[in-house]
Amino acid sequence: MRTIIATILLTASLVSGAQELRLKAVRVVKPEVSGPYLLAGVLPGSRYLLVSGEGYKGLSLLDLRRSRITKISSGSGAGYEPAVTPDGKKIIFRTDSFPDNRKYSSLLSYDIETAGTETILAHERGVHPAAISGNRIMVKSDRVRRTELTGSAVTKSSGDGVFVIIEDLVPVIYSGGERKVLKPNGDGYYIWASLSPDATRLLYNFQGLSTYICDLNGHVIHDAGRINAPKWLNDNIIIGMDDRDDGNRVTSSEIVYYSLRDRKRRYLTGTDTRAEMYPWPFAEGRKIAFSTDNGEIYVAKLKIR
């Protein structure tokens, strides 16, 4: 009898804990400078988006209230995986150059309040996008690997000092001076890796086929199915896109999400008039921004139930 009661209570708790998303409102953002944009990020606790141009050239702030564009950089590759400190005050980004057909990159820090830019790494080979954990950032190139304070007044969390970087298409966890290479699905290539907000799980896509979640020892605990460009909405929901193409252009794309609590993948959008791509959650988890295949930017409010 005790076993039966326990099973009933466990089932009830799983059902009551299930989370479903719905769109409450969707609006298009019309920047003061017209043109196609790629969405590159959301600044925590602010009204700003990060946007880039075709091929990730340049990086700018888009003010959602005034539709104003503020240029951060016009450099090549500046819009590819910029990192933002948790307080939303600093943006770490790369710029690329190709002398003698060899790629060199610089890593720079842009201060929102002063509009000043500082160089962290200059003209290095093999520069990775910056990894941020609490009030620390990890910078890495073929020659350099170090962590440093961002200078931001950020409340410390249990995840401080845990970083994930993709090296040779494999996720690597750095924590407490230790380096751990993870291959949860065996040999192959891994992309779109990120730590959960509580820094206890790793989200990644394997071989471009399916998205998974594993613990920090590499044990797979969730197969979320086809979710490209996945991101954590919160500790219990991931969000991304199901995009299709014909080899030349995008033919369709919808925003999808996966609930860890009920282990289900669902569609958040279902439209024939636009291809929703690359969703970015806002810090509070109640809104997302996304772009379309023709360079439009949208912001949507979410209902979580």
Q: What is the per-residue pLDDT for 17?
A: 53
Tokens of 204: 């990644």
Phi-psi region of 8 (alpha: psi -120 to 50; beta: other; left: phi over 0): alpha
* Count of CA atoms in the C-beta half-sphere (13 A) of 86: 17
pLDDT at 273: 86
pLDDT less than 50: residues of the chain? 1-16, 154-158
Q: What pLDDT score was predicted for residue 13?
A: 39
pLDDT at 149: 78
Percent of the chain at pLDDT exceeding 70: 91
Record the tokens describing residue 254, joined without a space: 């919808």
pLDDT confidence of residue 14: 38
- For residue 233, what pLDDT is reported? 96
| pLDDT for the residue numbered 3 | 40
pLDDT of 135? 82
Joined together, the tokens standing for residue 94 give 């790369």
Complete edge-to-edge strand list for the sheet that includes strand 83-84? 83-84, 90-97, 104-111, 117-124
Predicted local distance difference test score (pLDDT) of residue 163:
95
Domains and CATH numbers, the chain: 30-156 (2.130.10.10)
Q: Quick one: pLDDT at residue 160?
A: 63
